[in-house]
Amino acid sequence: MRKVFNRLVVVLDTNVLAPMPVADTLLRLAEESAFYLPRWSEEILLELERTLRKWNYSQFQVDRRLRVMREHFPEAIITGYEGLANSLDVDEKDRHVLACAIRAGAHAIVSDNRKDFPKHTMDQLGIECLSAAEFLKQQYHLNPDLFIQILNSQRIEVGMSMAELFQRLPKGLEEFIRF
């Protein structure tokens, strides 16, 4: 069977990397060449670290999450975007995310704070902003069988049923994906 490579470059915002089931699913998909290429910055990872600490994750859990992300996706770290941030017409706290996306040549940003990325700005830059649910639905369509296989592997590894996994993922996926 011929291996399929998708060259969709996507910046993952902190708010989709923080909830473990969502992050786990997104990162498992990114390990497969049929799906997408994840990107983030050290600033996004620092924000992720602060968020996880605020959510009472242990220091061990925080360090492990960040270490695993860095080890499995060394090419995901984007640098050299800092000079772009101040000129961007988005919420000040999210300028670094959009600047990272521009520098990465990203096709999309996955963020559940879509209101912080105005459509007119994103359209001008040719970058889509998708919620985690919208993005996962798109990824499903790229390779439904592989997508389901990844979810099944995830649910087995974390010791839950598919219904329990869907309860922890963005709302609406369970109705969209039929087994």
* Distance, CA of 64 to CA of 52 (rounded, Å): 11
Task: Specify the CATH number for 8-172; select among 3.65.10.10, 3.40.50.1010, 3.50.50.60, 3.30.420.240.
Answer: 3.40.50.1010
Q: How confident is the prediction along the chain (179 residues), in pLDDT tens digits per residue? A: 455 567 899 999 999 999 998 999 999 999 998 899 999 999 999 999 999 999 999 999 999 999 999 999 999 999 999 898 888 888 889 999 999 999 999 999 999 998 999 999 999 999 999 999 999 989 998 899 999 999 999 999 999 988 888 888 877 565 556 54
Q: Residue 40 has what pLDDT?
A: 98
* Distance, CA of 51 to CA of 153 (rounded, Å): 27
Helix (H) or strand (E) holding 147: helix 144-158
The residues, ordered by sequence, that sit 6+ positions from 48 with a Cβ below 8 Å of its Cβ are 14, 17, 18, 65, 66
Q: Residue 13 has what pLDDT?
A: 97
Q: Residue 179 has what pLDDT?
A: 44
Q: Residue 149 has what pLDDT?
A: 94
Domain limits, the chain:
8-172
Task: Give tens-digit pLDDT for 47-92.
Answer: 999 999 999 999 999 999 999 999 999 999 999 998 988 888 888 8
